[in-house]
Structure 1
Amino acid sequence: MPDLTDDADKGPGISQAERAGENAGEPPSKRRRRESGERQQREIGLMRQSDGANVPSFVGSSSGIHFVRSVYNALEKSRVHIPPQTPDQNIVPGEEDQLDEAVPYSSKNLWALDESETANSGFSAFDFDDLQMWSESYFENWHTAYPFVHAPTILEYLEQHVGPATLPELCKQRSPSFTIIRSIMSISLADRRQSGRTFEKPLPASLVFLSFREAMDSVQDMLFKPSSIDALQAVVSVQLFLVSMLRLNGASRLGGMIVRMAFQLGLHRCPARYAGFDREQAELRRRLFWTIYCIDRYLSQSLGLPLTIRDDDVDVCHFDDERHPSDGRRQAAMDDRLRTLSFLTKHASIKGQIVELRNKSIHQRTGNRDLATLIGSRIGKWANDLQYILDAADHDEPGRFSTLQEVVLLVSQHELVISLNRPLLALEKHTPEYMAALQTCIRASDTIITTLHKYVFFRLVQRGEGPSTAPLLWPSLTWCVWMSAFIVLHAAIEGEMPRHIARNLADNSVEILRHLALRGSVWPNVSAFAIDDLFLRLLLDSTATTPQSPPLEANHVEPRNDTSSQKTGGPSTRRPLRDNPRLFNRFNTASQQNNHPNNAADLEGQSFSSSEPQLYIPWLPEADAAAATSDNIFEQFDIPFWIGDDQYSSVLNFDL
């Protein structure tokens, strides 16, 4: 996190002695005040102390925890004092270790009866066509982004080895190949909840992980065997399943095992340098390594942990930049099927550079503005390269992305912008750096929320595939929407954004999170609670009225008096997707109005008592809304919510 002192511009090569010499002429008390101020003007992580139920734990600043706590603290200083309605503000999405001790890795069944058979139901009849249908979503959405397995080999294994008669023996053997199959089927089954697809028959219980504990247990044997490519692929597949369900602590622990296995196998060295690997082996090793690299960077940033794989330890070439051509041959053109992973790899590299610049140990950070500018230029180049591909695809040139991939990559661009600039919001307000970073973050947050909202609710038309069901399967989207909403609310608190604009964006954020929650993770739902709660506090705070933001009465919305209107809401005007006109043209823009529930926008019309303030949650029935506003809505919260034996089973009973 850069500070505002002169030596901030001199980079990491400045020694402590030189810094001490520059300040030698200052009185000691002034130097102490100056150093204290610098420490306070940086994002810092949070060390949680033991509370009897949980042991001490750490979450780093790259997760955004410092900024989130700052937003809460700003509202706590306001004139409005209402009981907290949201979960602990010291938690970030994906930290299942912070749930109730009995919850994170319980043996509770993840699937409903119409999704998967019970473990005691035996083995139903199925054939290869069923296996293809059950795994289709994985190969369409995940394998195209993270092709760490050889798809033809997996399909051949399904055809030749997986059947009703062989399942009992496969379950006993617990081979890496069968673990990969179970991961693929589990991810696809979770995808089904967002995609709206239905299966004619439920999956056999032995083909999926019935619980997160079972998923973790499936890779224990890999610890006692020599590292191998197929064993590493199996552990990565389980990690990807956990990541897809936002079980990030468990995925991070598996990540330590994965990275060490990768190092032992030499995956961090470019396979083109060694004659012992044929072309297919080299390509698979490269795809596997960059998948591990991307997931590691995502986990490190999301949980605020140090990078596990450092760039200066890696010499694996990118797919479009081979620096070790064998036998003097010219570099071959990159396979278009690897284009998505290529962009994700470079995105992960830039993300790691941002973490190293902004979120290192407080004593190791530098205020090198030149380095920050260089990273900004790399983000710009990444965005320009992406736009070139998108423009070429419009002219039927090769290199098309799927609609979901296109949206995810566009959002990822603005995620990088936020990660680079958000730490500057810890600086003293009204400084040039703070004001520039705030406006940049506002623009990026607006674009993220608007892009995702239009993708979900205007139903993009897939190229030649008919109307899309708009699945949002990418795990980082929860963090992006959550952080974007907090930035918007922060801007409204500071009077840098009109409240009615912040209201619309907060409303859209909640709707996106509701859609993300259909997958079965608790975190989008909890983030929606937090946004609703904070927006309510902002509305009740009379100090929120600013020259840029009209008084509360000017934006008054009539309260809804019947339960039916609480479910359906009224039409609300949506804002145009200004930053991506090419993408916007692919939305159904016949109407700029829609009838989806208007959540945060309708909070203004509610009547609140100063003695008994309550959080109104428009998308919950009254009884569930009251239960959800307890001090800790995480309590006994676990997946699934749809089984019926959970006291919070109706929290995710959305009418979408």
Structure 2
Amino acid sequence: MSQHNALNNRSRFIPPTEIGSFVALGACRSEFIGSASGVFFANTVFKAFSDLPTSQEVGNSKDLPNKLPAPEPAHTYLAGSETESSQQDVTHSGQVAQSSGFSALGMLPTPSMSKELTMAYFRHWHPVFPFLHGPTFLEEVNKAYGGVEGESVSILSKGPRPQEDLCRMVTVQCVFGIAATTPGLQLDHACRIQSTQGLLQLLAALYNSPDILSLQALLAAELYMITAMSLRAASTVHGALTRMMYHAGIHRCPFRYLQLPEPVRGIRKRIFWCAYIFDRHLGQALGHPLSFNDIDVDVCVPGMPELHRPVPVNQPADTPGDDSPELVLAHLPQGQRQERERLTGMAVESPFDGSPVGPGVRDSSEGQPTSGGEKQETILGLIATHAQLLGTILNLFHNSIHTRSVDLDSVQEITCRVHSWWNRLPLSIQDSPPGGTNDLTSRYHVFFTTLYNHSLLLLNRPFLSLPRERFEFKCSLQAAINASHSLLMDVNQHLENGLFLSWPTSLSAVWTAGLVVSFATLLDQYPFSKSNELERCLAILDRMSKKWSSARQCHAALNLLSRKLITKYEMPNMVHSQSYPPPRSPRNHSLVTPTRRRDPSVSSTPRVSKRQRVEDPGEPTRQPPQQDAQWAASIYPSESTFQTSPNSLAVPQYIGPDFGFDTSLPDEFGEGQDLMNEILNLDYSTLFSGSI
């Protein structure tokens, strides 16, 4: 019986499949994008498509050019470096702009334009990320224009507070830059932030003062960089921001401290959760470790019941019950379930995400976000709870392979919590709003449906690199197809939504959905007759390409895959295999060295990779250890091997492999290898380092 249980436990354990991409740009410089970004899955799809015949093999049809466009490598798709708008010099005659005093921040727009931008920001962005205080921001804008509308004066006051002046200018100009992403609004080139590097240099002066104004300025700059798809720069700012927040105690619930006035408590809570949401987004987009650990956070979620009681400044030492579980629980958030269970020995279901929490929490009807004047906190609270779920997904699937442990029970639990989060949303968010609806929550329908379906894609994507005969692969592929279909259908109906088209999560979600549909169609798991799904995806990416260069890369790649599918299904006298080999590990994968079957006629002369890792020239060639072979067998096992080999899941030492495909590899796939040459034969030296 014990042997049966051991085999059953091993059968529920999923070996690590997705791994990040490491590129050495020189002896002292390298870049890394983690597995959470989806780079491994993109390469899996590209490799599968490389086995398709090219147009030369089907008669050089005039309808399909022999030379297909060459999109950039998967390493760059999910985190571009600049926006299209930053490259265009748009001028409007008759408008006078004011100097900001900081060349990197650009000029102030005209007062009439600033009014439009302010209204657009508070209509579309502030309800989602309310780290600013509206009346205070309007006062800051008024100060920036010298207090007199239309009067051309210097933006910088000559007072004794240059730190406040810098905070004001960074916040105002970044807010204007964010609002300018709204369809129909266009900033003059001179009024735009001129350079990411220049902005980063200005922000350095704010790092030594963890006050509210500085934190708000840094959050505004980070959000601006995120919307501009300068994700590495945003991540750099975020690193400093999180340290400053720890210094100021922002990660502790402000309602515990009587020293803080009521208005300050609210803004501190909103600042924290906005930074928390940015943290999860950047962690997923770049595949980097998270900066906020949930076990170190006890800030209550906005719009949810306040769980804390203020701690008096001077509490008598002999106050009874100081160490009682009830008093301790009053200062713990709902997410701290382990401590609650330790103190009480009981656990109940959370009213907002389905996770266990301790007793004393109000029932689900009370746990729902409030309404009326609290709708702004409602939106933030719902996104914050989703960010908590996203962090759990990232920690489950994308920790280091040395510590990563994925089992089906954990996957089912987090999947249940994602569904629970969606099912508890207000109907005004879940249902597609009718034409003309102007309700605050209904305006964000497509935003929340994208978060939901993207979460389902993130949950199922790691299994899509397993061998295709595995049940987990088949089940996850169908779930991913369903999420992709729902996402593309809904997004296609809301292409005019300015917030959606400006938030980078939308690009990642649409790109992943397009890859899933292409992959499933290639494997005959999705009807080619439904190819209009890919057409929808390409139309959405085309709209996004006007804003982000990375969207153009995604569009070019999916367009290439779409044309390959046309070659497979529509070209006459097609010669292609009806079955496809299981996914292979990328070339130069130093963790996995599977045995390849080669044609004896193919020369065994070693070929030199186009991208070499930096190595010691005197170091002898490293032979793959037995440990590596065992780990390789755990990723691509046969059914019998997976169920009977107790040592097949050993994890070797990580030595920094190159995860790109070697385009000079001897051609095992016929002319199909030309596709990989087109996709991967590009320079990696400019990844994520562009300026805006």
The TM-score normalised by the length of structure 2 is 0.65
Q: Deviations over 1:93-118 (max 9, x none)?
A: 2243xxxxxxx699976652239978
2:544 counterpart residue number: 516
Residue 68 of structure 1 deviates from its aligned partner by: 0.4
User: SS of the counterpart of 1:259?
Assistant: helix
User: SS of the counterpart of 1:269?
Assistant: coil
Q: Residue type of the partner of 2:193? A: F
Contact 1:107 1:211 in 2 (8 A): no
Q: 2:423 aligns with which of 377, 384, 388?
A: 384
Whether 1:75 and 2:104 are equivalent positions in the alignment is no
Contact 1:86 1:633 in 2 (8 A): no
Q: Residue type of the partner of 2:76? A: I
Matches within 5 A, 1:429-444: 429-444=468-483
2:221 counterpart residue number: 238
Contact 2:89 2:189 in 1 (8 A): no
Whether 1:496 and 2:525 are equivalent positions in the alignment is yes
Which one has more relative contact order, counting CA pairs under 8 Å at least 6 apart? Answer: 2
Contact 1:8 1:369 in 2 (8 A): no
1:290 counterpart residue number: 273
- Change in Cα spacing, 1:55 to 1:403, as seen in structure 2 (3 Å) is farther
- Change in Cα spacing, 1:237 to 1:72, as seen in structure 2 (3 Å) is same
User: SS of the counterpart of 1:227?
Assistant: coil
Distance 1:10 1:365 in 2: 14
Residue 535 of structure 1 deviates from its aligned partner by: 1.6
Q: 2:34 aligns with which of 60, 82, 85?
A: 60
- Change in Cα spacing, 1:369 to 1:516, as seen in structure 2 (3 Å) is same
Distance 2:510 2:532 in 1: 14
Distance 2:23 2:690 in 1: 28
Distance 1:475 1:296 in 2: 13
Residue 513 of structure 1 deviates from its aligned partner by: 1.1
Whether 1:307 and 2:290 are equivalent positions in the alignment is yes
Distance 1:339 1:234 in 2: 24
Contact 2:25 2:685 in 1 (8 A): no
Residue 296 of structure 1 deviates from its aligned partner by: 0.7
- Change in Cα spacing, 1:7 to 1:279, as seen in structure 2 (3 Å) is same
Q: Residue type of the partner of 1:47? A: F
Matches within 5 A, 1:283-432: 283-319=266-302, 320-326=304-310, 333=370, 335-390=374-429, 400-401=439-440, 403-432=442-471
Q: Deviations over 1:340-364 (max 9, x none)?
A: 1111101111011001111111121
Distance 2:278 2:520 in 1: 31
User: SS of the counterpart of 2:54?
Assistant: coil
User: SS of the counterpart of 2:32?
Assistant: strand
Residue 204 of structure 1 deviates from its aligned partner by: 9.0
Residue 304 of structure 1 deviates from its aligned partner by: 0.8
Q: 2:175 aligns with which of 169, 184, 201?
A: 184
Residue 264 of structure 1 deviates from its aligned partner by: 0.8
Distance 2:99 2:447 in 1: 40
Of the structure 1 ranges 131-140 and 304-313, higher mean CA displacement relative to structure 2 is found in: 131-140
Residue 72 of structure 1 deviates from its aligned partner by: 0.7
Whether 1:169 and 2:196 are equivalent positions in the alignment is no
Q: Residue type of the partner of 1:532? A: N
Distance 1:523 1:420 in 2: 24
1:42 counterpart residue number: 17
1:594 counterpart residue number: none
- Change in Cα spacing, 1:388 to 1:108, as seen in structure 2 (3 Å) is closer
- Change in Cα spacing, 1:79 to 1:187, as seen in structure 2 (3 Å) is same
Of the structure 1 ranges 113-122 and 78-87, higher mean CA displacement relative to structure 2 is found in: 113-122
Distance 2:296 2:107 in 1: 49
Q: How many residues align?
A: 509
Residue 614 of structure 1 deviates from its aligned partner by: 11
Percent identity reads 23
Contact 1:95 1:249 in 2 (8 A): no
Q: Residue type of the partner of 1:515? A: R
Whether 1:533 and 2:560 are equivalent positions in the alignment is yes
1:88 counterpart residue number: 73
Distance 2:307 2:155 in 1: 48
Distance 2:395 2:686 in 1: 37
- Change in Cα spacing, 1:291 to 1:48, as seen in structure 2 (3 Å) is same
Distance 2:494 2:406 in 1: 38
Contact 2:23 2:684 in 1 (8 A): no
Q: Residue type of the partner of 2:168? A: S
User: SS of the counterpart of 1:218?
Assistant: helix
Q: Residue type of the partner of 1:302? A: A
Whether 1:507 and 2:498 are equivalent positions in the alignment is no
Q: 1:219 aligns with which of 190, 200, 203?
A: 203
Distance 2:688 2:235 in 1: 19
Q: Deviations over 1:513-548 (max 9, x none)?
A: 1112223x211111101101122223334577869x
Q: Residue type of the partner of 1:132? A: K
Q: Residue type of the partner of 2:501? A: L
2:236 counterpart residue number: 253
Residue 71 of structure 1 deviates from its aligned partner by: 0.6
Which runs of no fewer than 5 residues in structure 2 stay unpaired?
A: 1-5, 56-66, 312-326, 331-361, 569-573, 580-669
User: SS of the counterpart of 1:146?
Assistant: coil
Residue 169 of structure 1 deviates from its aligned partner by: 2.5
Q: Deviations over 1:123-146 (max 9, x none)?
A: 999875542213222111111100
Distance 2:25 2:685 in 1: 17
- Change in Cα spacing, 1:382 to 1:56, as seen in structure 2 (3 Å) is same
Distance 1:236 1:138 in 2: 14
Q: Residue type of the partner of 2:421? A: W
Which runs of no fewer than 5 residues in structure 1 stay unpaired?
A: 12-37, 97-103, 460-467, 548-609, 616-627, 644-656
Residue 170 of structure 1 deviates from its aligned partner by: 5.0
Distance 1:637 1:428 in 2: 31
1:269 counterpart residue number: 252
| RMSD over aligned Cα atoms | 4.2
Distance 1:637 1:365 in 2: 28
Contact 1:357 1:366 in 2 (8 A): yes
1:113 counterpart residue number: 91
Distance 1:522 1:118 in 2: 28
Contact 1:522 1:639 in 2 (8 A): no
Contact 1:522 1:638 in 2 (8 A): no
Contact 2:100 2:169 in 1 (8 A): no
Distance 2:267 2:508 in 1: 30
Distance 2:17 2:689 in 1: 37
Of the structure 1 ranges 111-120 and 140-149, higher mean CA displacement relative to structure 2 is found in: 111-120
Distance 2:556 2:48 in 1: 18
